[in-house]
Structure formats: C-alpha cells, structure tokens
Amino acid sequence: MTVQHANNQPTTANPVILVPGYRDDASVLTHLTTFLAEQNFPPYPITLVPSDGQVRLEVLAHQVADFVNRTFAGDQLLDFVGFSMGGVVLRYYLQRLGGLERTRHFVTLGTPHRGSWTSYGSNRPGIRQMRPGSAFLRDLSSDAERLGTIGFTSIWTPFDLMIIPACSSAIAEAHDEPVFALHHRALITSRRSLARVAEALGRPFHPS
C-alpha cells in the first residue's frame, strides 16, 4: 500500500503509530514525528487518555486497538514506536489484542520492559503495573518470545533517571540499542536517538 504522508511525497513504508508515555500526549512526540516524516516514514502520533496511571494499562492498549481499527484497513501492515510507558502499552496490544499479526517493526524508547523502581512512587493502578515483578509484567514475559517474530528494537540510555535501573529497558527478545542521551526525554528529542529509530524502522525484516 502506498501512503501519502505529511510532505505530500508517496512512500511504501508502513504507517508508524507513535505512542507517548506517562503524563504525555502526542505533542511530546513532535520532534520524532517531524524527523520520521522527513525520512519518508508516515507518522501517526496518538494520545492515550488518561495517561497518568489512573487506569490500568490494558485500558490504554484498547485505545490503541480502537485507533488502528478505525484508521487502517485490516490487511495494512504497521510499525509501532512507544516511548516509556507507551512501549509497555504497545506490548499488551501486540501480545494480547492481536496486534502482533499485523506488525513488522516495533521500537521502544526508554520503556521499562522489566519494570522501574520509580513506579513505587505512586499507587495508581497503571503505575503499579510497571513495578518490577508485577503480575502484569510477568504475564507479558510469559510469551515474550513471540516478539521475536517481528523486528523489535529497544533503544535506551544508561543515564535514564526515570527508568531505574536503566537496563530494565533491555530485553532478550529485542535488538538492544543503548544510546548516549543525557536523560529520559532526550530519547525523543536528540538527533542521535531519532536516527536510531529511523534505522530500526528501515531495517529489512522478513517474518519467519
């Protein structure tokens, strides 16, 4: 399928759904959205509501599913990029709501795949789910090998003070890419990190 994206140039790249993180909306992804459009990847940033942990992450994952079903034909292949909590939400969509079957590339940025100790700072349902060893994360880990059937890349920085320990973003099923970014949000603003996202989305992938 050929998609007409923001700069009116046709591209055969898959649409890229971008999901922000905790207390964020689509506006925080402006740098990433602009960069991907310049690289001929058609970006679709979305906002999940509420994004402050008041609801369980499954609720937000269903919002992703609703957006995908409303916006794209059932046979349209897609790529997904999740920042921070957005990456965990996307994992639930991919692994539990059927998204994996239509996904070719999945990129996470500073996502606590194995939890973050900072999640103990809040007792909100969605935040508790990101605590290390939570039932939610254990469930996703139970069949995480399924993520090996797509092009999965985890980009993170060892200087991340939001995801503790920062290496919690590393996951065996992903192509692991630590980058030099000075803080958590720099992962979605620095050219170095944005270039890694484009490289991951452009990496040839042939499903097994």
Spatial contact of 107 and 80, defined as CB atoms under 8 Å apart:
yes
Whole-angstrom Cα distance, residue 20 to residue 202? 21
The total number of structural domains in the chain stands at 1
**Does some domain include residue 89?**
yes
Q: What is the CATH number of the domain that holds 92?
A: 3.40.50.1820
| Residues 169-207 pLDDT 10s | 999 999 999 999 999 999 999 999 999 999 999 998 766
**Does some domain include residue 5?**
no
Say if residue 5's pLDDT is above 80: no
Q: pLDDT > 90: what percent of the chain?
A: 91
Return mean pLDDT, the chain. Answer: 93
**Does some domain include residue 7?**
no
pLDDT average, residue stretch 156-170: 97
**Does some domain include residue 52?**
yes
Q: Is the pTM of this model over 0.85?
A: yes
Spatial contact of 43 and 19, defined as CB atoms under 8 Å apart:
no
Whole-angstrom Cα distance, residue 123 to residue 126? 8
Say if residue 7's pLDDT is above 90: no
Per-residue H/E/C for the chain: CCEECCCCCEECCCCEEEECCCCCCHHHHHHHHHHHHHCCCCEEECCCCCCCCCCCHHHHHHHHHHHHHHHCCCCCCEEEEEECHHHHHHHHHHHHCCHHHHEEEEEEECCCCCCCHHHHHCCCHHHHCCCCCCHHHHHHHCCHHHHHHCEEEEEECCCCCCCCCHHHHCCCCCEEEECCCCCHHHHHCCHHHHHHHHHHHHCCCCCC
pLDDT tier, 21 (very low <50, low <70, confident <90, very high otherwise): very high
| Residues 124-149 pLDDT 10s | 999 999 999 999 999 999 999 999 99
Q: Which domain holds residue 110?
A: 19-202
> Within 13 Å, how many C-alpha atoms sit on residue 108's CB side?
28
